[in-house]
A and B are shown apart, each in its own frame.
Chain A
């Protein structure tokens, strides 16, 4: 339960992390898009470069994590780990979906921006802007030319050059004749202001007026943002040289509209000139922000694939374990979806199977004990007859008072003792078989154990060669050495008995993999008479033997010990060729979704 909670927490943390980065990226996009339309070159906008940098850094980080995940996935796929290939296929499928769904969006967005800008910046807008600008220039030039030529007009020349007239009188006459006139100033040739009239804000300073030549002065924009046009006319009369400055103020809206017009035209020209580059940059920006989003989606696809594959892998492992005889295996499910229901059903099925197996085992056990009891009764009954006959013989001879009673007594008692010894041996074997202790496993080098067993019997059997072939010296198993020594001893004894005219006993061992579990497979081969096919099913039954001697418990003990070591035993036999016993013992447990991931 604790492990399940931890796993749920881990999964939540990953999803929360992905969600956090997603929100962060979206915030970056929103901030960037709000800033990009501002003239950011005016201020030192560090945020933009920081955001762009962070986005690139974030992309690299995601690429690294994805690379790491992909490496693990490819390795799992190539090493045929359970679920590896399915997960790889799922991830590829998700990635294809991500790319397929993102690409049209990218093309659509860029195309949409292109079309939208194209519809704004079209030739009609250009013509309208140019037309507006021409009108504005025409208006400006008209004003400028009028002002430029005005002082040369005889009437105004006489009016401005008349030093005797009052300035208020001249101002009124000028104002009524010149629309927009805002100031009238008279300066001496040395630059001293003689008289002035009009709006003081549009007066020109003497230092600016003095160096200017006669005619139209350069355009000037006042502090309040309105443009003024000025014209200078030099005069000479009896009082000396002087010059007049006339100032005309353009309407306040003129500058504002002119500014907007020129700015829009400037934008239009820039767009015309840099349209391909702009679209390229827009596509690049789209990529800059959408690429990390795609990477995030890819990372989520890895996680999602894992979520889909893990229950299936657990189910596969559980099925295999059950097939191997481990009915204690259960699947822990994290969610309450269909896969979880499947896991629950599987667990229920295994429980039912376990119950059924236990019941079957109980039945088999009873049947086996019945058979053992029958055989044991038979074995016990067999010597009772000679014992009874011997006792009856003694009694008869004693009642007859026979002369050879001593001999008869001696012979009958010998027979009784022999049969009782046989019974004693039989019961000792039975007790040993029924009280076989649980194995005490410890690391053992298999080759040493086999060589030890072979050495014990090699000098006891003539014409028989016991060889240890193809057994690697580094195979180390966790076994009860005493019990396994007995297994090898019983098998060797069995083989020796099967080869009365001599032969070979060969030991082999190698590592095999069944599902995800590695086993050590030990082979004990003899070149004896073999086992008749009709006896195959009874070979491991207690008290079954085809020999005239022996108890028939040897192979039963072997099977029991192998079973207690969570192993399996079987044999192949060909009459006249020989018999090979195979023993599979667990070597190690190593798989990806083992108990920690269940």
Chain B
């Protein structure tokens, strides 16, 4: 059993190193009716340095909920819902605190880096409950921009793909 776990951990770490992309973790808190999508594999020292220079970092979550129709893979399942959620993190020079701007426009300030880093790398949203007997699942992907270029320099975004890794699509079951 230990060997198996070790093997799985090595496999996950190897995959992450090979792809150089962030990992997605998905936690369903049924009691609090909340879903948390958490990212790992982000270099916090680099992020800290960039943000302190006055730049913004951005995380874009793409969530798609599908109904499993049982059709062949080429035909695909039916997409019920698609969401693009963006949250940005930066240093607030006025209050000397770390700021997160959530997808809904809410701005939260953190006095310490750890709390900011922890909250920035996760997305919480209410548990979606669908009626009926359909088998549902969610595909999630996250793209991380260590530094968001402002126009007109945003054209550089295309050429700095290394600083904006994107995770692979992950599939999660929806209750």
Interface size class of A (residues with CB under 8 A): 35 or more
The answer to whether A285 touches B155, judged by C-beta atoms less than 8 angstroms apart, is yes
In the complex, the answer to whether B151 meets A278 with C-beta atoms within 8 Å is no
A43 to B93, alpha carbons, bound, how many Å? 28
Nearest CB on B from A248, distance (A) = 13
Q: Which chain A positions have C-beta within 8 A of B53?
A: 269
CB-based contact A266/B56 at 8 Å:
yes
CA distance A263 to B58 in the complex (A): 15
Q: B residues 115-171 with Cβ under 8 Å of A?
A: 145, 147-157, 159, 164
A266 touches B159 (CB 8 A): no
Which residues from 26 to 74 on chain A have a C-beta closer than 8 Å to any C-beta of chain B?
36-44
Q: Say yes or no for B95: interface residue by CB 8 A criterion.
A: yes
**Cβ of B56 to closest chain A Cβ, rounded Å:** 7
- For A37, A39, A269, the residue with the greatest tally of chain B CB atoms inside 10 Å of its CB is A39
Residues from chain A with a CB closer than 8 A to the CB of B107 are 220-221
What CA separation (Å) do A36 and B157 show in the bound complex?
11
Instruction: Pick the residue among A44, A140, A265 that contacts B54 (CB under 8 A).
Output: A265
In the bound complex, do residue B94 and residue A270 qualify as a contact, i.e. CB atoms below 8 Å apart?
no
- Tell me if B151 and A42 are in contact (CB < 8 A): no
Interface assignment of A218: CB less than 8 Å from any CB of chain B: yes
Question: Known contacts A36-B155, A41-B154, A270-B55; is A218 also within 8 Å of B94 by CB?
Answer: no
* In the complex, chain B residues 90-109 whose Cβ is within 8 Å of any chain A Cβ: 92-95, 97, 105-107, 109
Residue of B105, B110, B154 touching A40 (CB-CB under 8 A): B154
Are B153 and A267 interface neighbours, CB within 8 A?
A: yes
- With a cutoff of 8 Å between Cβ atoms, the chain B residues found around residue A174 in the complex are none
Q: Is the CB of A218 within 8 A of B109?
A: yes
Chain A residues with CB under 8 Å of B86's CB are 42
Please, what's the 1-or-0 string for B49-65, where 1 marks a CB less than 8 Å from any CB in chain A? 00001111010100000
**Cβ-defined contact, A278 with B92, below 8 A:** no
What 0/1 readout, one digit per residue, does chain A (240-275) give for beta carbons within 8 Å of chain B?
A: 000000000000000000100011011101110010
The closest CB in chain B to the CB of A143 belongs to B94
A277 and B156 in contact, given A136-B94, A218-B97 (Cβ under 8 angstroms)? yes
Q: A218-B97, A219-B95 are in contact. Are A38 and B155 (CB under 8 A)?
A: no
The answer, yes or no, to whether A168 is at the interface (CB within 8 Å) is: no
Is residue A194 contacting chain B, with contact meaning CB distance below 8 A?
no
Q: Which of B65-111 contact A (CB under 8 A)?
A: 84, 86, 92-95, 97, 105-107, 109-111
Contact of A36 among B60, B147, B152 (CB under 8 A): B152
Contact A266/B94 with A274-B156, A281-B159 known, Cβ cut-off 8 Å: no
Complex interface: chain A residues within 8 A of B155 (CB): 36, 278, 281-282, 285
Known contacts A219-B92, A221-B107, A277-B156; decide if A37 and B54 are in contact (CB<8 Å).
no
A residues engaging B (CB < 8 A)? 36-44, 133, 136-137, 140-141, 144, 218-221, 223, 258, 262-263, 265-267, 269-271, 274, 277-278, 281-282, 285
Q: In the complex, given contacts A40-B157, A285-B155, what are 16 additional A-B residue pairs having Cβ atoms less than 8 angstroms apart?
A: A38-B154, A41-B145, A41-B149, A41-B154, A42-B60, A133-B93, A136-B94, A144-B95, A218-B95, A221-B107, A267-B150, A270-B147, A274-B153, A278-B153, A278-B155, A281-B159
Q: List 24 A-B contacts (CB under 8 A).
A: A36-B152, A36-B155, A37-B151, A37-B152, A39-B150, A40-B157, A41-B145, A41-B154, A41-B157, A43-B84, A144-B95, A218-B109, A219-B97, A219-B109, A221-B106, A266-B150, A267-B150, A269-B53, A270-B55, A270-B150, A277-B159, A278-B155, A278-B156, A282-B155
